Amino acid sequence: MYLFRSRYHAGGSYLRCRTAVAISLLLTILWSNIAAAGQNIVVITSSALPAYQRAAKALERQMALNGMSSSFTTDFWSLEEAKAVAATVNKRQDAVFVAIGSAAADFAVHHFVDSVVICSFITRNAFETIGADLPASNTVSAIFIDQPIERLIKMSSLLKKDQTPIKIGMLSQNTLPVQSIVSKAAARGLNIEINTRTLSLTENPLKQIEPIMKNSDVFIIRPNTSLFNRLVAKLVLQLSMRYKTPVIGFSEKYAKAGALLSLYASPENIGQDAAKLLTEWLLSPQNSLPVARDGSEFTLVINHRIARKLAMRLDDEQLKAALLKMEGQQH
């Protein structure tokens, strides 16, 4: 639950002034209690959206499973509460902060600059943008919600076990180091060819997507907040059916809309991964913060209707188990 709920009632400026003073005093007391209690964890959520709250609850549960609940106090703040505290107590940094969502991350890294801040529920691009104006720091880390490209390639190889090489088409927000990816895959015994494309707003999306889809065995879509609108999503899925090319999406909605399957980080996955990184840091003998990294937890959703249309028989649990096995062999 949140530490406090501030409400202003009608009754004139005098009452509003008294209320503001009371809130200011309460915030100061709350922060003083945190500072006096020793090592404390403050979780800041970007908004009251259910997904953020689910991630926060998952983090709390995972910390308890990790045996950390008895050693550390965890408080949960909304972004508005965090802003009020920072303004009232002159940005004192006496706690470890876990930001859930990019808005919370942006605020935390810029206002609690001497504290450890772990950013979650955030893409790699958003994290890099937020930290672009900050000096190099060993007090800020992150768990990205993007699925690592290596995981997506492994999934592609499971979908096309008996085929070599596997031709992978890909839409991505950034230009990927394709040769490096292919070389790493080859080192793990995967024979792949990658054709990647970043969509341009000045070109017809059909002319950009169709040649890749037509010549691919598997088509991967990675998040692109500026270009992946409903029109492009609909086009991708229509071409997938036309050329019988399975699509790997990046959200539950993509799978429901017509992708063969999606790999993504659910709010529960995000909370679990944030707790893992936080626990790793808290238990580190050198107290060194792990570097920003991809999440290890993920959710797999298969659209079995699309699988039947593509004449593919897939089992959710077996496919995820096979992918986890491949990832375990990587380490």
- Domain range summary for the chain, segments of one domain joined by +: 12-144, 149-264+298-330
What are the start-end ranges of the E strands in the chain? 40-45, 73-78, 96-100, 117-122, 140-144, 166-171, 192-197, 218-221, 247-249, 261-264, 293-294, 299-302
Could you give the angle at which helices 267-282 and 50-65 cross, rounded to 10 degrees?
40
* pLDDT for res 13: 43
Give the mean pLDDT of 209-222. Answer: 92
Burial of 264 (0-12, 13-18, 19+ CB in 10 A): buried
Residues sharing a CB contact under 8 Å with residue 59, sequence separation 6 or more, in sequence order: 43, 98, 100, 120, 271, 272, 274, 275, 278
pLDDT in tens, 8-50: 333 444 344 444 444 444 444 444 443 333 468 999 999 999 9
Nearest to 199 by CA among 179, 218, 226: 226
Q: What is the DSSP string of 20-88?
A: HHHHHHHHHHHHHHHHHTSSEEEEEESSS-HHHHHHHHHHHHHHHHTT-TTTSEEEEEEHHHHHHHHHH
* pLDDT for res 68: 82
Q: Between 3.10.20.740, 3.40.50.300, 3.40.47.10, 3.40.50.2300, what CATH number should domain 149-264+298-330 receive?
A: 3.40.50.2300
* pLDDT for res 193: 87
Token pair recorded at residue 18: 């008294």
Q: Note whether 12-144 and 149-264+298-330 share their fold.
A: yes
Q: Tell me the CATH number for domain 12-144.
A: 3.40.50
Give the mean pLDDT of 86-94. Answer: 59
* pLDDT for res 84: 87
Give the mean pLDDT of 105-120. Answer: 92
Contact 237, 205 (CB under 8 A): no
pTM: 0.81
Cis peptide before 148 (omega within 30 of 0): no
* pLDDT for res 90: 46
pLDDT at 6 over 60: no
Q: Pairing mode, if any, of strands 73-78 and 40-45?
A: parallel
